[in-house]
Amino acid sequence: MLKEIDEILTRATASFQAASDEAAIEALRVEFLGRKSPLQTLASQMRELSPEERPAAGKSLNSAKARINDLLKEALANLTNKNIGANTFLDVTLPGREPGVGTKHPVSLVIDECVAIFRRLGFIVAEGPEIETVRNNFDALNTPVDHPSRDPLDTFYFSDGRLLRTQTSPVQIRVMESSEPPIRIVAPGRCFRRDTPDATHSMNFHQIEGLYIDEQVSLAELKSVLLAFARELFGPEVSIRMRPHFFPFTEPSVEYDFSCIMCKGQGCPICKNSGWLEIAGAGMVDPEVLANVGYDPEKWSGYAFGMGIERIAMIKYRINDIRLLYENDLRFLKQF
Ligand code: PHE
């Protein structure tokens, strides 16, 4: 009987390995494990064996049945694997999906670069909140109560009287009120104004503010710092110029232009044929502002400046519409 069992096993192994579809496997299951299977026939002949032969034969029958069950499972598993390979819904041979590697937003790139330059010039980074008080954004900055920038048509107010800061200048107030001079900080951050969006205006934008307070600070120092900044940012051939201007919190106030990096001052569409790019507002900190934060204007003096990050990004990366920076189109953002 042991020999017969061996023969059945050999046949079963060859048959299951050759079976190529579900129907063939099912037929083999019936043939080798069904009620009329050769193993079943042998089992019914058990009682004809002598008592000495029976245990070995029983054991061998059982293990043969278990082995054929395994053959059945293997055959079914092979069939499933083959189907997975052939089916369109899951092709296990395809490479996995690569998670995309992000890039820094151009606004972040410009902030990082400006901060790095000012750090080398001895400035440290300060920060303030985007929701500000009227006092920090306007009053303490010496802005008259009837100044047009306070109009709710220009500034976003909350019902509790606070506002979305319209500039990074309130950080000047926060820093001066929480520390003693000398002070040398830059404060990058988001600002908000109620502008109608177009190619050069956005309701939210970024500025980087600078503030230097010490004894006997001069306008010449402001000029040298901004010249050094301009050349680090745009190259050694850049020159700068100051034009008289007005800000409530600086006196005198100036606007800073950088010579156009595109046409080197010759005149082109970027600089509207003037050869100059408006970059920063600046000036000597108004003594009123120093008094507002409790500094002695007789002892302390300083300069401040503020510039638009988006404007620098647009010049640097030749972006012709500010709205591109806020649409989050990956085809645009991937280029940086
Ligand atoms: N806060 C001014 C603006 O938003 C810029 C500025 C900053 C001017 C500091 C002078 C000094 O236009």
Domains of the chain are 2-87 (no CATH), 107-333 (3.30.930.10)
**Closest ligand 1 atom number to CA of residue 166:** 4
169 C-beta closer than 6 A to ligand 1 = yes
Q: Is the pLDDT of residue 85 over 80?
A: no
pLDDT tens per residue across span 233-242: 999 999 999 9
Q: Residue 2: what pLDDT? A: 82
Q: Which residue's CA lies nearest to atom 12 of ligand 1?
A: 281
CA 306 to ligand 1 centroid distance, Å: 5
Which of 142, 149, 249 should be mutated for ligand 1, with most atoms under 8 A from CB?
249
- pTM score: 0.72
250 C-beta closer than 6 A to ligand 1 = yes
Vertex 297: Cα angle to 296 and 302 (nearest 5): 115
Least confident piece of the model among 57-66, 236-245, 296-305, 308-317: 57-66
CA torsion sign, 289 to 293 to 298 to 302?
negative
155 C-beta closer than 6 A to ligand 1 = no
Q: Which of 96-105, 112-121, 318-327: highest mean pLDDT?
A: 112-121
Say how far apart CA 93 and CA 129 lie, in whole Å: 52
283 C-beta closer than 6 A to ligand 1 = yes
